[in-house]
Amino acid sequence: MDENEIRQMVRRVVYRTLGLQQSVQDPPSRQLVTEAEVQSIPVGGQISISQGTLITPLARQAAMDRHVTLVESGAAEPSMIEAPYIKSTGSSQQTVAIGADHGGYELKEMLKGYLDELGYRVVDCGTGSTSSVDYPDFAFAVAQLVAKGRAWRGIIVDGAGIGSCMAANKIPGVRAAMCYDQSTAVNSREHNDANVLTLGAGLIGDNLAKQIAKTWLDTPFGGGRHARRVNKIMEIEKRFSRRS
């Protein structure tokens, strides 16, 4: 089978999955984005698509893993098209991993309930009490879930938020940001596409923590020039990973 025949076969499968009708002889009326096309885009890049474009499930997964944004073209202001499980509004399909050390335990417990109210599925990575523990263990647990694609975003709480941020950023694919107000929350998402948020329980109270978390989860990545810069961050990571 040549490439066109393979694409037609994939298209028919996608149409059946979506409950749409198209005969074998029909010319392709919609653009189709496959996993291979997403894999060819640099991490943090963009794919321009037309209205009504079909996106295969594997392509959506690859886009999430590689932080590739699908941008609808043809409008005065291009709009971000995201997979249902990575939308910027609360949804039961979105998983947020959360963890804390003993200093962040109480704030973590409060945020768990708040995130549940917002409609997120929460995975608690511990700790389970105020007994003394080591924050790198819990930062690692949260960051791993995000890096492996098992969580959409991650939130880690310790006393100051700094140590957990350092630990999480050692995991390839993670861009952790310590935020202490709504402005830093917006910047870390819009400019840096942060996928892990760290908070300092000793620096902020419950209400501010809620504001930061919601703002951070709701803010989309800006793309454009920011995507080029985030891609350079990831290239630095790859460069040193190849050396090890």
Write the CB contacts of 122 (distance below 8 Å, at least 6 apart in sequence). 95, 96, 97, 98, 112, 115, 116
Place of tokens 């350092």: 166
Residue 70 sits at the vertex; the CA angle it makes with 63 and 220, to the nearest 5 degrees, is 90
Catalytic residue among 67, 102, 191, 226: 191
Long-range contacts of 7-16 (CB under 8 A, 24+ apart): 7/32, 7/34, 10/34, 10/56, 11/54, 14/54, 14/56, 15/54
d(CA 164, CA 180): 14
Residue 78 sits at the vertex; the CA angle it makes with 77 and 82, to the nearest 5 degrees, is 140
Asked if residues 71 and 223 have their Cβ atoms less than 8 Å apart, the reply is yes
Mode of pairing for the β-strands spanning 32-33 and 79-81: unpaired
Strand order in the sheet with 69-72: 46-49, 69-72, 79-81
Name the helix (H) or strand (E) containing 232.
helix 225-243
Active site annotation includes 191: yes
Structure tokens, 176: 């952790």
Catalytic residues: 191
